[in-house]
A and B are shown apart, each in its own frame.
Chain A
Amino acid sequence: MIARKNNNQKILLKELWLRVYKDSSFPGFVVLILLIIGNAILQKDFFSYNIIKSNFMIYTPLILASIAQAIIIISGSLDLSLGASMSLFTVITAYFMTDTNVFPIVMLGFAVVFMTGALNGALIGKLGLSPLITTYATQAIIIGFAMFILPNAGGYVPKFFYRIYRADVLKVIPAPIFILIIGLIIWFVISRTTLYRYIYAIGSDEEAAYASGLKVSNIRFAAHLIASLFIAIAGLCILLSTATGDFRSGNPFALNSVAAVVVGGVSLTGGKGNIWGAVFGALILGLLNNLIFFAQISSFYQTFAKGMIIVLSLSMAAIPRIFEEKYKFGY
């Protein structure tokens, strides 16, 4: 009797293992574990509360931006203007903010980011323009607009507001992690909707989705809007951590989020991958910088080493695919 129970458990464990192993984010997960081990060796107090807190203060915006990018890429689109939208958020809020109107101004920032998302969604989803070039152009438009409002970094963020980011919730959860958890909860709710499934469907095979009676253009539009929510939260994090409005602050996020998402196993062709991949990928990129810093690699080689490790983690994701698809020909 007991033996059989053990056997059943074994089978269950095996199935679970297969599911984990076959998940697209698995190679990213492995790389992440390796990086955590590496970091733990090089940085003695890596797991201490303060270090975790300060690390997440840096990683949270990228994780949120990567979640946004993942949703967009899964829908079969791409967003290079995501960093610009984040900058615009900081610029708009820092420009208008005073000690008394913090909440309405933050809402204004959210609204503006939603508008940029709607612009991208309308151009890509409704008009069917190429996402790569379209968002490259909208990025320039958004940055231009932000420059027009605040040509130099500045603006005003009240101290009580930006200190929130350094505070702890319930005295144990650092604020950045709390924001991240809220983001993940929002995503969890969204992932239970039919819309979320439709996003996978249109990314995976647009024609089949149309034949199944899905309104492809509306769904892609919606994907950009949903992503805007995460972009805005990421922008908020940047604002809180820098306490200034700067049209350059979001710049690195556009390509870094794409890199993170791809390292996390999300396919650029759409329809494949999941949010966990985006989270892992963003953490990988963040920890990578940390590792390189603490490995005391000469700054000459830092960029080189970073590039090499990204290529390596990408190749890790490709290895199982090589074994699966033996033949390159279309049969």
Chain B
Amino acid sequence: MNLFEANNISKRFGGVVALIDAEFGFSGCKICGLVGANGSGKTTFARICAGLINKDSGNFYIDGETKDINSPFDAEKLGIALAHQNLSLIPDLTVWENICLGHELRKGKIFPGNKNSMDLSIEILNDLVPGEISINSKISTLNPAQKQIVEIAKALYRKPKLLILDESTAALEYFHVEKLFEKIKQLKEDGMSIIFISHRLWEIIKICDLLYVFRNGKTVGKIDFEKEPRDENLIVPLITGGDFCGINYIKKEKKNLIEKNVIIRFDEVSYRNKLNKVSFEIKKGEIVGIGGLHGQGQEELIMALSGAVPVESGKYYFEGKEFRSRHTLNAIRKGIYLVPGDRQKDGLFNNHSILRNIIYPRFTLKKERLFLKLKNLYKITGDIIKKISINPPESEMTVKNLSGGNQQKVVFGRWLQFQPKVILLNDPTKGVDIETKDSLYRIVNELSLKGTTVILYSSSNEEIICNCDRVFIMFEGKIVEEIEHEDICEDKLIKSSLRVGEKG
């Protein structure tokens, strides 16, 4: 592809702005990097280029003409192939069937020349990982790294002019990445352009000719490595915004923990390949943040803590005793409460009233007898509504009709009627306005002063900085760094998350 330009691309999802006037462009066969924090619109941009999402406004200027990309078929005609981050593979088909899906080499008109497609698939796959993946195994039997490689092979099979790799390296091992880079460089020589999306700065620096930085859906920087030095310290300020280490959020004061009791202890806990021998101790009344790039095992850690997934190896101690759980019920009865990340799916009974949503946990905890004392329940609900100021303050309001922030308040508020020992917050402020955010964290802090342990995973560094006593940085299923209260700052968090200074 000789010229690719995307001008003023904007996209909203409901009320959330994903991209606003994003710019992107290059000429000639280049490897063009794209970085940005979580939620900066990288994946949205990639999906728009591949025709999976329709942009709201803006235009593409490709090889001298304005082009419209409205469906995957348009993208295909233009020679754009995307290696998806969340995978476009069919779990019930085999590896080679997936690689050539929709583009089988044909012998006649209807019947596929299976052997030819298969040979070509094997060739492409072997170029990436010689002899590691059996061509006839079903996708559902592969591990995430293998799936990702098949995904890349699938994109390459389409012989694109522009290949978009959307965080394809995130699941890969170091030597696979090396191998992929060799291949990419060779493809560039052969006349393919590549958009390379990654969180790992060392990869960007190593391979890219050109780099775009997105922040909050806008293009905030363009670095041409032919003119400028390949330096991580040039890129990080663009990603974070503001000067390097110049931002200081108002941190809460360091708390003197009244009790030194350890409430939760993990001893080399593993789960699938998502958690890898995680060990830590958390004291009573502490607020612990979990940081790191997206999808490094944070959600699984929260799930393991909440008892929703059993630990596969290692031990989980709660209040000094070993805690084995196959069901969240066990954890809830012990006083470990979860505020899930996806409130629509895991947190709320959407078609029920606030009252019902709030009183359901009472049944789990056997606080109610056969007949409900409605008066009492209304009072409890009223108190909670007042305490966290749900708007409108009507117990009978259907949760579906509340705004996102108020819904989150309901999810959170339902646990306030009990005395929580541990509260697990999985990205509690996703799509929540500032006011709600403040009141939520005010309550969290109050709770922690009363001795509740809080474990917070948030995609926003600001919240972690402002609220946490301690931060664990996770990377590939391990806690790679522990930051104490006085050291928590944006700069430190980002550097640790991106593993600046460490390769592979």
| A-to-B contact residues, CB < 8 Å | 192-195, 197-198, 200-201, 203-205, 207-215, 271-272, 327, 329, 331
Contacts and interface: CB of A to CB of B under 8 A. Distances in A.
Contact of B91 (A192, A197, A204, A210): A204
A209 B154 CA distance: 12
A210 B84 CA distance: 12
Given A192-B111, A194-B112, A214-B101, A331 B309 contact: yes
Contacts of B103: 213
Interface of B: 50, 52, 72-73, 76, 82, 84, 87-93, 97-98, 101-104, 106, 110-112, 154, 271-272, 274, 300, 303, 308-310
A327 B90 contact: no
Given A211-B52, A331-B274, A204 B154 contact: no
A211 B91 contact: no
A208 B139 CA distance: 13
B153 to A, nearest CB: 13
Nearest to B345: A330
A197 B92 contact: no
B92 A200 contact: yes
B90 A331 contact: no
Contacts of A205: 89-91
A320 B91 CA distance: 18
A200 B308 CA distance: 32
Nearest to B112: A194
B76 A204 contact: no
Nearest to A271: B92
B92 A193 contact: no
B458 to A, nearest CB: 20
Contacts, number: 78
A211 B88 contact: yes
Contacts of A215: 73
A208 B90 contact: yes
Given A212-B154, A213-B102, A201 B110 contact: no
A198 B310 contact: no
Contacts of B91: 204-205, 271
25 contacts: A193-B112, A194-B106, A194-B111, A197-B93, A198-B101, A201-B90, A203-B92, A204-B91, A204-B92, A205-B91, A207-B88, A209-B90, A209-B101, A211-B82, A212-B72, A212-B88, A213-B72, A213-B76, A213-B102, A215-B73, A272-B92, A329-B303, A331-B300, A331-B308, A331-B309
Contacts of B97: 197
B90 A193 contact: no
B101 A204 contact: no
Contacts of A212: 72, 88, 90, 98, 101-102, 154
B93 A204 contact: yes
A231 to B, nearest CB: 22
Contacts of B104: 194, 197
Q: Which 8 residue pairs spanning A and B have beta carbons closest together?
A: A211-B88, A204-B92, A208-B88, A271-B92, A213-B102, A201-B90, A194-B112, A204-B90
Nearest to A204: B92
B437 to A, nearest CB: 27
Contacts of A211: 50, 52, 72, 82, 84, 88
B110 A193 contact: yes
Contact of A200 (B93, B274, B303): B93
Contacts of A194: 104, 106, 110-112
B426 to A, nearest CB: 13
B110 A331 contact: no
A194 B104 CA distance: 8
A194 B92 CA distance: 15
